[in-house]
């Protein structure tokens, strides 16, 4: 029951623990399986990453609005930090089959600004898992160093820690 679970989460978040909600943004099998919201191949099919999962399109305004709503709800539940993973365009899998997307950086920046604005009056820290390609001139993920600098904290995979060293990243623990 969702209301009961929300009450339990709120109670937990009121204790002396520092709580972090981890939310996968665009790697989302449910949203990505919906033809109206999915990233597509150049031939119009729903694209899957190397793990066989569909991705929702970061360019889709309904997807962005849905994610902003989820994060506002997490902030209202009292989480101290919200960690965004998969916050960008895919960087792994058969990228050559993807339909071309113009203005990846601008699309992602607009989404993050919308999200940061929605959370501005809350005490939550908004953090992001940085992608190694953000330090390149044309990042496949759409993440740029300027975008990463707008977050309260940058997390990373261990293998990307050196590339993102300027952000003093926190290594994301393995999920079991």
Cα(138)–Cα(136) distance, integer angstroms: 6
Q: How does residue 13 score in pLDDT terms, banded at 50, 70 and 90?
A: low
Cα(158)–Cα(130) distance, integer angstroms: 11
Residue 66: which residues within 8 A CB-CB, separation 6 or more?
Answer: 31
User: pTM of the entire structure?
Assistant: 0.87
Pairing status of strand 81-85 against strand 170-171: unpaired
pLDDT digit string, tens, across residues 104-130: 999 999 999 999 999 999 999 999 999
Cα(89)–Cα(138) distance, integer angstroms: 12
pLDDT digit string, tens, across residues 41-88: 999 999 999 899 999 999 999 999 999 999 999 999 999 999 999 999
pLDDT digit string, tens, across residues 157-173: 999 999 999 999 999 88
Q: What is the DSSP letter of 168?
A: -
């Amino acid at each position: 029951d969702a209301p009961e679970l929300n009450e339990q989460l709120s109670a937990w978040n009121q204790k002396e623990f520092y709580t972090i909600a981890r939310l996968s943004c665009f790697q989302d099998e449910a949203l990505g399986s919906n033809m109206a919201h999915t990233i597509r191949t150049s031939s119009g099919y729903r694209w899957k990453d190397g793990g066989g999962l569909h991705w929702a399109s970061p360019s889709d305004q309904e997807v962005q609005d849905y994610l902003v709503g989820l994060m506002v709800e997490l902030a209202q539940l009292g989480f101290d930090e919200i960690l965004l993973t998969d916050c960008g365009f895919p960087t792994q899998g058969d990228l050559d089959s993807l339909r071309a997307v113009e203005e990846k950086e601008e699309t992602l920046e607009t989404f993050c600004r919308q999200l940061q604005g929605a959370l501005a009056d809350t005490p939550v820290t908004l953090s992001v898992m940085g992608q190694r390609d953000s330090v390149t001139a044309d990042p496949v993920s759409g993440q740029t160093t300027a975008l990463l600098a707008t977050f309260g904290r940058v997390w990373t995979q261990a293998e990307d820690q050196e590339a993102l060293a300027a952000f003093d990243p926190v290594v994301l623990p393995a999920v079991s």
